[in-house]
Amino acid sequence: MLKFVLKRLFFETIPSLFVIATLTFFLIRLAPGGPFSAEKNVAPEIIAQLKAHYGLDKPLAAQYGNYLLNALRGDLGPSFRYVNSSVTGLIRQGFAVSLELGLWSLLIALLCGITLGVLAALNHNRAADWVAMIIATTGICIPTFVLGPLLVLVFALNLGLVNVSGWNNAGDRILPSLTLGLAYCAYIARLTRGGMLDILSQDFIRTAHAKGVHPFMVIVRHALKGGLLSTISFLGPAIAGLITGSFIVETIFNIPGLGRLFVTAAFNRDYTLIMGTVLFYAFLIIVFNTAVDILQALLNPKMRVTIG
Amino acid sequence: MAPMLKSTFAAMIGVALALALSGCQQKKEAENPGRILRYGNQIEPQDLDPHIITGIPEYHIVSGLLEGLVNPDPVDLHPLPGMAEAWDISADRCTYTFHLRPAALWSSGDTVTAADFVFSIRRILSPRLGAEYAYMLYCVKNGRRFNKGELTDFSQVGVRAPDARTLVITLTQPTPYFLALLSHHSWFPVHPKTILKFGPLDARGTAWTRPENFVGNGPFTLAKWELNKIIEIRKNPRYWDAAAVRLQAVRFYPIENMQTEERAFRTGQLDLTTNVPLEKIDWYKQHDPQLLKIDPYLGTYYYLFNVNKPPLNDKRVRRALALAVDRESLVKYVLKGGQAPAICFTPPNTAGYTSAATIGFDTLEARRLLAEAGYNAQHPLPAISLLYNTLQTHHEVAQALQQMWRTYLGVSVTLVNQEWKVYLASTQERSYDIARMGWIGDYNDPNTFLDMWITGGGNNRTGWSNRAYDSLIAAAAAASSQQERYRCFSRAETILLDEMPVLPIYFYTNGYLMQPQVKGWYPNILNLHPYKFMWIEKK
């Protein structure tokens, strides 16, 4: 296992991050318009001062080298847009919020998704299956920018149960978590259904039933373990996607998360903040994908050989 | 596995229920907590350093934290005493002597001195700070040279403090709008001790603006700054006029999305917004007209012509296009926000100035000019493109003008929209035929609209150059009376409208939503609303 993790780290994680850093670094500099262009003209001397201040007057290769060296030391530089903030500080603040939102959404997604998926599989080709799958398909089809305002209209504007936006009290967590969670719930439901259908037709399930095990225990103890394998491999990128924040949901509900920072950084050509958020996002995806591989090995003996 | 899964499920359901219930029990923020103004402020500010910031949302916050030599009157914007309780103007109108208020204190308890102002002016003019608004101080003698690095001896810059309470500012030439400039954030003082505690005088982006470090001299102090969430400023008990300040605090919410902002306003989470969505204007007009505010705003929406590129290098073509714009219909049916059709470039009655020349809607004359330039049905105008940054309003205006030009002149124009920074680059590099622009006056004077079109002016992205125009703007600056000055401006604007390097479309209005209990807020063309005069009336 240790060998697997080390191999992953040195042959996949580090080279991937390096490639991503390099591509992002040069691509953002190719985009027209720089961080200091503005509607009102800025005098060339001032632009020159600003470039010197942020080291943008040096040759590109030197800028790139400096950036990588500093990044290795954990210093992602100052933000160009948010003048008195460091990129690390901004990511820390934004991530704390996105992480919380992501975890609540994940909870909702898992809870609804697995329940719907199992129900559908158990009632294969019967009404309950169709209902569950219609719900799931609708969930996939309705984008968050439609679902979010709809939920706001019903629960905040009409019923007045919660605030329309903000991130201050517990109630403010409900609608955004639902909006973000329901989209993922739909995928999980479909994956769980597929996995469960596959497992439920296996011999060992029949054996369990024949031995007189309570049907509920057959599902929970025997079937779910194998039936959730495909769901688990989906969870890696899903968790990374959920906790790094969604620009749309954060914008609709005015949540101070990482997603908004990331997208506005691109609009502002805030080079350091773009680099920082991209690397952070990439790092999380890689970590979660590795974690999923390990988890799958634990759940599925067949996989252990390849990992071993 | 099974018992574990089961208990996890149970825990998940429990947590979700608790969350849902706590949400229902939580008091919503629909009620105003009293004497607090809750303001939708668009975006997370760049910074709160008055010498660094460039945007209006930043000004909203900083104007509560710091106070300049004078304050704008909330109703008509005339300069009221601020840090200076009085001032004398020399006979040649080039030297201003300000007498500072003895009771003026920084929030740290230190007295505000004339030396603090000298320090602040030196700071914003220091080349290394890279202050984008340093040009607002170019009227000060040698201010421009010091900022450009041509002069390193600050003692030659026209500002000195003979004693702690006297500040003398010498100008290059009489500047009639000088006192109006002083309420701009670039003229705000900063606390020298605090600045130097976190770095040298000209260091950019130090930690001095964090809430735990900020020292100001305004009616409010910085209490809270949470990224992308809230900034709260609270009443400053050390402010010289604290007795007059009725608001306890102002909370700024960075809500970028107009629809989200409007929803927050509708449920009473906000007392005041920065914008109102275009599609909501009619609804408010019909259902809640007292909540919708549409104020005139000192700004012009216009198109740039690239005057070096055929066929737009022919002034007859530019004039023809300008004459074929039905501005009345545009503001009435497309914009709907109370905008006024722009028949000249400077908004009428800017500090008492109105352009004598105008450009109207005259399709006959437009067709005549186009024919005179050699374009007709057999020989149509070559294809031209119209560039704007991606935004619904710009798109609708562009579509309307495209249609008018097709209908009235038979001219076909392609619409091109670009993302903000790409569009800025395109206009700066002059790679466009016609491009959308807007200009909001920096101060209430025609100069802010007209001096930008001089040859080589930084904001003159049209390539247009006219010697007579340049000398009229220079003559206005040197004029000995206001009448003479305005005569020069009017002659200059006549040239501008005749040559038509820019096509004025409409004068901006400022549309927003405000709860009726907000008092002491007066509409004015610069959209300046000092919080010290405002209060929240209890229902």
pLDDT in tens, B429-476: 999 999 999 999 988 899 999 999 999 888 899 999 999 999 999 999
Residue of B nearest to A78 (CA): B205
CB contact under 8 A, A157 and B227: no
Per-residue pLDDT for B4 more than 60? no
Q: Look at residue A241 in the predicted model and tell me its pLDDT.
A: 81
Residue of A nearest to B254 (CA): A254
- Tens digit of each residue's pLDDT (9 = 90 or more) over A288-304: 888 888 887 777 777 66
Residue of A nearest to B457 (CA): A41
Residue B427 with chain A: CB contacts under 8 Å: none
B384-389 vs B434-440, strand pairing mode? parallel
CB contact under 8 A, A156 and B22: no
The H or E element spanning position B389 is strand B384-389
Residue of B nearest to A153 (CA): B263
Mean pLDDT computed over A165-187: 91
- Provide the shortest C-alpha distance from residue A11 to chain B (in Å): 34
**C-alpha A186 chain-centroid distance:** 16
Residue A253 with chain B: CB contacts under 8 Å: 260
Q: Look at residue B137 in the predicted model and tell me its pLDDT.
A: 96
Per-residue pLDDT for B93 more than 70? yes
CB contact under 8 A, B204 and A164: no
User: Phi-psi category of B163—alpha, beta or left, where left has phi over 0 and alpha has psi -120 to 50?
Assistant: beta
- Tens digit of each residue's pLDDT (9 = 90 or more) over A40-61: 888 888 999 999 999 999 999 9
Peptide bond into B311 cis (omega under 30): yes
* Residue of A54, A157, A163, A270 to mutate when probing chain B, most B C-beta within 10 A: A163
| Contact present, B456 and B427 (Cβ < 8 Å) | no
Alpha-carbon distance B408 to A160, whole Å?
52
Question: Which of B1, B6, B149 minimises the CB distance to A45?
Answer: B149
Q: What pLDDT band is residue A226 in, cutting at 50, 70 and 90?
A: confident
Radius of gyration of chain A (CA): 24
- Tens digit of each residue's pLDDT (9 = 90 or more) over B80-92: 999 999 999 999 9
Q: What angle do CA A275, A281, A287 make, to 5 degrees?
A: 130
Question: Which of A46, A161, A165 minimises the CB distance to B264?
Answer: A165
Residue of B nearest to A108 (CA): B16
The proportion of chain A whose per-residue pLDDT surpasses 90, expressed as a percent, equals: 51
Mean pLDDT of chain A: 88
CB contact under 8 A, B425 and A269: no
The DSSP output letter for B185 is G
Which structure tokens are listed for B195?
């600045």
Question: Which of A40, A84, A260 minimises the CB distance to B47?
Answer: A84
Alpha-carbon distance B495 to B453, whole Å?
11
Mean pLDDT computed over B18-36: 53
- The residue ranking higher by pLDDT, B532 or A291, is B532
Q: Look at residue B518 in the predicted model and tell me its pLDDT.
A: 96
Instruction: Report the length, in residues, of chain B.
Output: 539
Alpha-carbon distance A294 to A5, whole Å?
9
Q: Look at residue A304 in the predicted model and tell me its pLDDT.
A: 63
CB contact under 8 A, A220 and B130: no
| Contact present, B264 and A164 (Cβ < 8 Å) | yes
Q: Look at residue B33 in the predicted model and tell me its pLDDT.
A: 58
Sequence letter at residue B192: P
Residue of B nearest to A90 (CA): B227
In the A/B pair of chains, how many CB contacts fall below 8 A?
180
CB contact under 8 A, B204 and A162: no
Mean pLDDT computed over A177-192: 91
Q: Look at residue A254 in the predicted model and tell me its pLDDT.
A: 92
Q: Look at residue B456 in the predicted model and tell me its pLDDT.
A: 87
Alpha-carbon distance B10 to B166, whole Å?
73
Per-residue pLDDT for B9 more than 50? no
Sequence letter at residue B93: R
CB contact under 8 A, B259 and A149: yes
Alpha-carbon distance B417 to A198, whole Å?
51
Alpha-carbon distance A245 to A256, whole Å?
10
Distance set, CA B500 to CA B83, B110, B319, B395 (Å)? 44, 54, 6, 22
Mean pLDDT of chain B: 91
Q: Look up the pTM and report it.
A: 0.89
Residue B266 with chain A: CB contacts under 8 Å: 157, 164
Residue of B nearest to A257 (CA): B228
- Provide the shortest C-alpha distance from residue A2 to chain B (in Å): 25
CB contact under 8 A, A162 and B28: yes
Residue of A nearest to B145 (CA): A45
Residue B459 with chain A: CB contacts under 8 Å: 40-41
Question: Which of B12, B26, B428 minimises the CB distance to A171?
Answer: B26
Question: Which of A162, A220, A221 minimises the CB distance to B23?
Answer: A162
Residue of B nearest to A112 (CA): B13
Spatial neighbors of B49 by CB under 8 A, at least 6 apart, are: A83, A84, B190, B208, B209
Mean pLDDT computed over B230-246: 96
Residue holding tokens 């996002």? A281
Residue holding tokens 């490639």? A19
Q: Look at residue B32 in the predicted model and tell me its pLDDT.
A: 55
- Provide the shortest C-alpha distance from residue A15 to chain B (in Å): 32
Residue of B nearest to A91 (CA): B227
CB burial of residue A100 (10 Å; 0-12, 13-18, 19+): middle
Per-residue pLDDT for B19 more than 60? no
| Contact present, A15 and A29 (Cβ < 8 Å) | no
Out of B23-32, B240-249, B400-409, B476-485, which region has the weakest mean confidence (pLDDT)?
B23-32
| Contact present, B171 and B159 (Cβ < 8 Å) | no
Residue A107 with chain B: CB contacts under 8 Å: 12, 15-16
Alpha-carbon distance A254 to A252, whole Å?
6
- The residue ranking higher by pLDDT, B370 or B538, is B370
Question: Which of B23, B263, B423 minimises the CB distance to A165?
Answer: B263
Q: Look at residue B17 in the predicted model and tell me its pLDDT.
A: 46
- A187: helix, strand or coil: helix
CB contact under 8 A, B266 and A269: no
- Provide the shortest C-alpha distance from residue B377 to chain A (in Å): 38
Mean pLDDT computed over B320-325: 96
Burial pattern A235-261, b for ≥16 Cβ within 10 A else e, equals: bbebbbbbbbbbbbbbbbbbbbbbbbb
Q: Look at residue A174 in the predicted model and tell me its pLDDT.
A: 94
Residue B29 with chain A: CB contacts under 8 Å: 163, 166, 168
Spatial neighbors of A147 by CB under 8 A, at least 6 apart, are: A179, A182, A183
Which candidate, B80, B50, B55, B83, places its Cα nearest to that of B69? Answer: B83
Distance set, CA A97 to CA A94, A245, A296, B43, B213 (Å)? 6, 8, 29, 18, 25
Q: Look at residue B6 in the predicted model and tell me its pLDDT.
A: 42
The proportion of chain A whose per-residue pLDDT surpasses 70, expressed as a percent, equals: 97
* Residue of B5, B224, B263, B417 to mutate when probing chain A, most A C-beta within 10 A: B263
Mean pLDDT computed over A66-74: 92
Mean pLDDT computed over B301-309: 96
CB contact under 8 A, B260 and A38: no
Which structure tokens are listed for B39?
């303001």
Q: What pLDDT band is residue B8 in, cutting at 50, 70 and 90?
A: very low
CB contact under 8 A, B131 and A78: no
Per-residue pLDDT for B384 more than 70? yes
CB contact under 8 A, B16 and A41: no
Mean pLDDT computed over B416-437: 94
Alpha-carbon distance B472 to B484, whole Å?
11
N-term to C-term CA, chain A: 6
CB contact under 8 A, B22 and A152: no
Return the axis-axis angle of helices A14-30 and A60-72, rounded to nearest 10°. 140
Mean pLDDT computed over A150-156: 93
- Tens digit of each residue's pLDDT (9 = 90 or more) over A2-23: 787 788 778 888 899 999 999 9
Mean pLDDT computed over A76-103: 93
CB contact under 8 A, B267 and A156: yes
Bridge partners of B159, per DSSP, are B169
Per-residue pLDDT for B22 more than 50? no
